């Protein structure tokens, strides 16, 4: 009996970090054949050529799809999507997977979804149903949902939203967030080992900052970044570790501004293009506050018992636990939020807190469903007309 071919597309190291344990589960299952397509930032020297990390982890890359232009303008991103559709079409025609697995909402993943849809390959989409009202990713995520045939979501409200979009409840599964598997399975680095790995000394107070473009904003990121820097300057005793944004619209502006800030504050700050999951989560564990507008501050960081300051509208609409402090992108309000996060009263009040994103174990459950799901007729989708709450629950 031939093994079921499961093809996973990854375009960034951050996304690969979330997919790692699912890839391991598929790789180690005798009934499944793992295929991997790398694209986007993985193949870019500017972003560290991180496809090598995938190979070093013991995975075979079956296809490399070059698509990332050296431009982060809207025109450049649109052209990159076009190149991605062409490259993924060729790769899928050669690999002929039984199921294509896609995570999230980035433009590289949209390209793969379009190619698979036209090739009549069933798509399993991870982390659908979420909302990020400040981003173009919102539309991309929901578009991929409508092109997909199986849905693995991170919370019950997200499951209901996918059903609200017309997807059949029997094809939507709430197994929790993939990123929590890293927290369960990785042995994080000690402070001494992390300092050695980063070649950077932590202080008594430490901030980890991850800030990405707000792609639907009418203005560029310069003002918001300067407000963030002004807020950080109010805490001169703190060390600051920056992780740079992905290859998003106007992301290079933020990268350059971070580099300039670090050059002026070299004694207490450092920046990295990508830390990878182990060093990133270890940095979270060794920081007092995580600051920025990344989804990790909402999903993974609370599970490590750390407070997050979530700036601006990028994550507006995403489900958040009590350890996440929202504020606008004004220096004064960012300072207030950081001070609140640092206070013993706040930490005592919110920890331990139950995560809305589950307790881990999603990778194994998703792998099992990919193995056992009946693919006969799966390409035929009937719009599910949601009439009552009971129907949303599949009753």
Element holding 290 (H helix, E strand): strand 289-292
H helices of the chain, in order, are 13-27, 51-56, 74-95, 107-118, 137-147, 156-164, 179-185, 191-198, 222-233, 251-264, 276-285, 296-299, 331-342, 344-350, 362-372, 389-392
pTM of the model: 0.88
For every residue of 168-185, DSSP letters joined together read: -GGGEEE---THHHHHHH
Residue pair 312/134 in contact by the 8 Å Cβ criterion: yes
**According to the model, what pLDDT value does residue 37 have?**
98
Q: Is the previous residue joined to 352 through a cis bond, with omega within 30 degrees of 0?
A: yes
Quote the mean pLDDT of the chain: 92
Q: CA–CA separation, 107 vs 320, rounded Å?
A: 25
The CB-side HSE value for 235 (13 A sphere, CA atoms) comes to 26
Residue pair 130/96 in contact by the 8 Å Cβ criterion: no
What SS3 state is found at 1? coil
In the 8-state DSSP scheme, what is residue 61?
P
Tell me the two tokens of residue 1.
């009996």
How many Cβ atoms from other residues are within 10 Å of residue 375's Cβ?
12
**According to the model, what pLDDT value does residue 133 have?**
72
Q: How sure is the predictor about 387, in pLDDT bands with cuts at 50, 70 and 90? A: low
pLDDT tens per residue, range 82-101 = 999 999 999 999 999 999 99
Identify the structural domains of the chain with CATH numbers, from first to last: 4-176+361-384 (3.40.50.2000), 189-350 (3.40.50.2000)
What SS3 state is found at 316? coil
Residue pair 278/181 in contact by the 8 Å Cβ criterion: no
pLDDT tens per residue, range 297-348 = 999 999 999 999 999 988 888 899 999 999 999 999 999 999 999 999 998 8
């Amino acid at each position: 009996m031939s093994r079921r071919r499961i093809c996973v597309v990854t375009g960034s190291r951050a996304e690969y970090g979330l997919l790692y344990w699912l890839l391991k589960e598929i790789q180690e299952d005798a009934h499944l054949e793992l295929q991997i397509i790398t694209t986007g930032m993985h193949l870019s020297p500017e972003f560290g050529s991180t496809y090598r990390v995938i190979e070093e982890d013991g995975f075979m890359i079956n296809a490399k799809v070059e698509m990332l232009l050296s431009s982060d303008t809207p025109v450049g991103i649109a052209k990159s999507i076009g190149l991605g559709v062409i490259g993924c079409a060729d790769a899928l025609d050669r690999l002929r997977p039984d199921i294509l697995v896609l995570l999230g909402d980035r433009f590289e993943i949209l390209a793969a979804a379009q190619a698979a849809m036209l090739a009549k390959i069933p798509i399993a989409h991870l982390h659908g149903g979420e909302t990020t009202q400040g981003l173009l990713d919102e539309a991309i995520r929901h578009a991929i949902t409508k092109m997909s045939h199986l849905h693995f979501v991170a919370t019950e409200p997200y499951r209901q939203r996918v059903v609200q979009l017309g997807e059949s409840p029997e094809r939507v599964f709430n197994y929790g967030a993939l990123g929590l598997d890293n927290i369960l399975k990785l042995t994080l680095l000690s402070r001494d080992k992390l300092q050695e790995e980063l070649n950077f000394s932590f202080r008594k107070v430490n901030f980890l900052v991850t800030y990405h473009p707000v792609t639907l904003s009418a203005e560029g990121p310069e003002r918001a970044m300067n407000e963030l820097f002004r807020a950080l300057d109010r805490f001169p005793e703190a060390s600051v570790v920056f992780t740079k944004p992905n290859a998003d619209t106007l992301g290079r502006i933020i990268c350059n501004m971070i580099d300039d800030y670090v050059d002026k504050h070299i004694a207490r700050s450092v920046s990295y293009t990508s830390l990878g999951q182990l060093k990133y989560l270890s940095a979270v564990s060794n920081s007092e506050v995580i600051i920025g507008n990344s989804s990790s501050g909402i999903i993974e960081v609370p599970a490590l018992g750390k407070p997050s300051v979530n700036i601006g509208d990028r994550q507006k609409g995403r489900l958040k636990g009590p350890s996440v402090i929202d504020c606008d992108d004004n220096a004064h309000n960012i300072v207030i939020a950081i001070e609140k996060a640092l206070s013993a009263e706040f930490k005592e009040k919110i920890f331990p807190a139950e995560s809305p994103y589950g307790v881990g174990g999603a990778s194994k459950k998703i792998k099992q469903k990919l193995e056992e799901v009946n693919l006969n007729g799966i390409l035929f989708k009937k719009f599910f007309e949601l009439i009552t709450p009971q129907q949303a629950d599949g009753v």
